[in-house]
Amino acid sequence: MADSYEPSSSLSFTSSSYTNGSQSCNMSTSSASEALPSLEVISLNKLSSNLAQLLVDDGCDYTDAEIIVEGVSVGIHRCILSARSRFFHDLFQKDEKPLIEDSKPKYHMDELLPYGKVGYEAFLILLSYLYTGKLKSSPADVSTCVDNSCAHDACGPAIDFAVQLTYASYIFQIPELVSLFQRHLLNYAAKILAENVIQILVVAFHCQLGPLVTQCIDRIARSDLDSVSLEKELPYEVAESIKLVRLKSQSGDEQNLVPDISPCDKRIKRIRQALDSDDVELMKLLLSESDVTLDEANALHYAAAYCDPKTVSEVLNLSLADINLRNSCGYTVLHVAAMRKDPSVIISLLDKGAWPFDLTLDGRTAANICRRSTRPKDYHAKTEPGQEANKDRLCIDMLEREMWRNPPTTDSSILSLAMADDLHMKLLYLENRVAIARIIFPTEARLAMDIANADTTSEFSGLSIPKVSNKNLREVDLNETPSMQNKRFISRMQALMKTGYSCLTFSFFVS
């Protein structure tokens, strides 16, 4: 940082200000020394506040240039940025763009970055720091997810925003922030899922953050992530470093580190290369000439993660793979598609029988995966007429609608406590819809409920319905196991949804 202050030099005037003895002089000097740092703090805070007004004051626009970030124009003051960042100093100094009369020079963020991206909110935080010297907290709508059960300390948006801030600090040459954000990413890398470490490793490699690169490589090397996927998502030298670490740990012989690629691995790689080329016919030919199956190659997982949606559909139509197969990390094809968040891929899988209730090893459904990788800003974004639908919300809605439409049968595998809570909330929603129906249309609702054999027990004040035979959802039975509780919830939900009369009653209020 160029800013430095030397309070001691400003005290030289005190030695000649008093002549009433050395003791008096020393006391005055001591008092001034104590008062001056406070004055400096006040002055610096005032300066910071005044400069902050330049970013928020719409009354007078003193900006002399603009940077376009995600389609939004951000006004900047080149003199301030030049003084605070060597990157901007060099950028504005070499800029030879001819100025149009009454126009400001414009810069596009995408053109300033050699790779990757920096979003609007991340850039505003960096800009605020350059103006004020103070780091603002991350806005919740871009640094948290829409899963209410998430602590937001290691979800997708939180990691992505930290990665953006680290990258922007490096590109704009703000070393103190690079050091700060690297420590944050080191904490993330130690506790997040291995597949989420990949994006941290990418930015660490490009920003030359040695300690972070080492920790991420070690973490991924000890995971079950397959080498072919790492080659798709990581720079070549990084992927090779991970393979080398794995070979060392497996062989223990540093002299013989030549990877042993089996014939089966070679065939699997060729099958995936055919998928990369969207050549399903070539893939079928490779399958017919070898003893490798689509399941052994995890071809559906690979296609759902990296291939064109049309290719995914064509592979599904072959009916040669188990759509609910789990890979080495315990993910089904639908889990992988939820990470990608492509609506067309998800709907193709659901149409072919992908089971939305399947849980990952850490207890997440595909809908949970989507929610934990979706920002509130994207989920709640309004879609104007004629615009493309919001993909993030569309993926979540499709998966949750499928879970509502086809609840698991009572003999399904034991669900997690989180799933039980989710079923509980869905059941409350259905029951209270019916409670409203019984108030507004009592005769029709009663007929529908009699046919469905479902009695409502609303938990909202003002909508209390007499309890008949079924147990109140809020009652606690210490002898009831989680499995028994799940079966009770599912049975009740099926009773609410199984008749046409009930569905007709719901449609009056959902529509």
Whether residue 346 lies inside any domain: the answer is yes
pLDDT for residue 385 is more than 90: no
Residues 142 and 240 in one domain: yes
Residues 391 and 432 in one domain: no
Whether residue 183 lies inside any domain: the answer is yes
The mean of the pLDDT values for the chain is 78
CATH number of the domain at 397, please. 1.25.40.20
> Which residue range is the domain that position 6 belongs to?
1-37
> What is the C-alpha to C-alpha distance for residues 88 and 39, in angstroms, rounded to an integer?
31
Give me the pLDDT at residue 406, please.
Answer: 78
pLDDT in tens, 218-277: 999 999 888 878 988 999 999 999 999 988 887 655 555 555 667 888 888 899 999 999
Give the pLDDT mean for 380-409: 83
Range of lowest pLDDT (70-84, 400-414, 427-441, 492-506): 492-506
Last residue of a domain, which of 405, 434, 467? 405
Whether residue 126 lies inside any domain: the answer is yes
How distant is the alpha carbon of residue 492 from its chain centre? 34
> What is the C-alpha to C-alpha distance for residues 236 and 246, in angstroms, rounded to an integer?
16
Q: Tokens 């188990």 label which residue?
A: 322
Output 164 or 492, whichever has higher pLDDT. Answer: 164
Give the pLDDT mean for 2-19: 38
Give me the pLDDT at residue 17, please.
Answer: 38
Give the pLDDT mean for 459-475: 42
Give me the pLDDT at residue 141, please.
Answer: 94
pLDDT for residue 423 is more than 70: no
Residues 357 and 437 in one domain: no
Whether residue 95 lies inside any domain: the answer is no
Residues 463 and 335 in one domain: no
Residues 424 and 401 in one domain: no
- The residue among 231, 156, 234 whose CA lies nearest residue 188 is 156
Residues 378 and 293 in one domain: yes
What the block records as the tokens of 169 is: 């600090």
> What is the C-alpha to C-alpha distance for residues 474 and 467, in angstroms, rounded to an integer?
12
Give the pLDDT mean for 56-83: 88
Counting every residue written for the chain, the total comes to: 511
Whether residue 77 lies inside any domain: the answer is no
pLDDT in tens, 265-308: 888 889 999 999 999 999 999 988 888 899 999 999 999 999 99
Give the pLDDT mean for 472-489: 56
Residues 144 and 244 in one domain: yes
How much of the chain, in percent, has pLDDT values that exceed 90? 47
Give the pLDDT mean for 47-68: 84
Residues 139 and 208 in one domain: yes
Query: Which of the listed ranges 195-204, 427-436, 468-477, 490-499 does the model predict with the highest average pLDDT?
Result: 195-204
| CA-to-CA dists, residue 202 to 168, 181, 216, 250, angstroms | 14, 15, 9, 25
What the block records as the tokens of 467 is: 């309890």
Give me the residues paired with residue 413 across strands: none
Torsions phi, psi for 351 (to 5 deg): -65, -25
374 membership: H or E segment, kind and range: none
pLDDT for residue 475 is more than 60: no
pLDDT for residue 433 is more than 70: no
Could you list the beta-strand ranges (E) of 213-343.
none
Whether residue 412 lies inside any domain: the answer is no
CATH number of the domain at 165, please. 3.30.710
Give me the pLDDT at residue 465, please.
Answer: 42
Give me the pLDDT at residue 38, please.
Answer: 84
Amino acid at 85: S
CB proximity list for 396: less than 8 A, separation 6 or greater = 146, 367, 370, 371, 374, 379
Residues 396 and 449 in one domain: no
Last residue of a domain, which of 378, 405, 432? 405
Residues 247 and 380 in one domain: no
DSSP 8-state symbol, 466:
-
pLDDT for residue 471 is more than 50: no
Give the pLDDT mean for 8-25: 40
pLDDT in tens, 401-414: 998 887 776 444 44
- Work out the number of other CB atoms within 10 angstroms of the CB of residue 366: 33
Give me the pLDDT at residue 173, please.
Answer: 96
> What is the C-alpha to C-alpha distance for residues 483 and 481, in angstroms, rounded to an integer?
5
Residues 399 and 436 in one domain: no
pLDDT for residue 54 is more than 50: yes
Q: Are 275 and 303 spatial neighbours (Cβ–Cβ below 8 Å)? A: yes
Residues 399 and 270 in one domain: yes
106 membership: H or E segment, kind and range: strand 106-108
pLDDT grade, residue 450 (50/70/90)?
A: low
> What is the C-alpha to C-alpha distance for residues 390 and 381, in angstroms, rounded to an integer?
7
Range of lowest pLDDT (96-110, 262-276, 359-373, 469-483): 469-483
Number of structural domains the chain divides into: 4
pLDDT for residue 191 is more than 80: yes
Nearest 5 degrees, angle CA 156-CA 160-CA 162?
120
Give me the pLDDT at residue 31, please.
Answer: 54
Whether residue 219 lies inside any domain: the answer is yes
What the block records as the tokens of 88 is: 């901007």
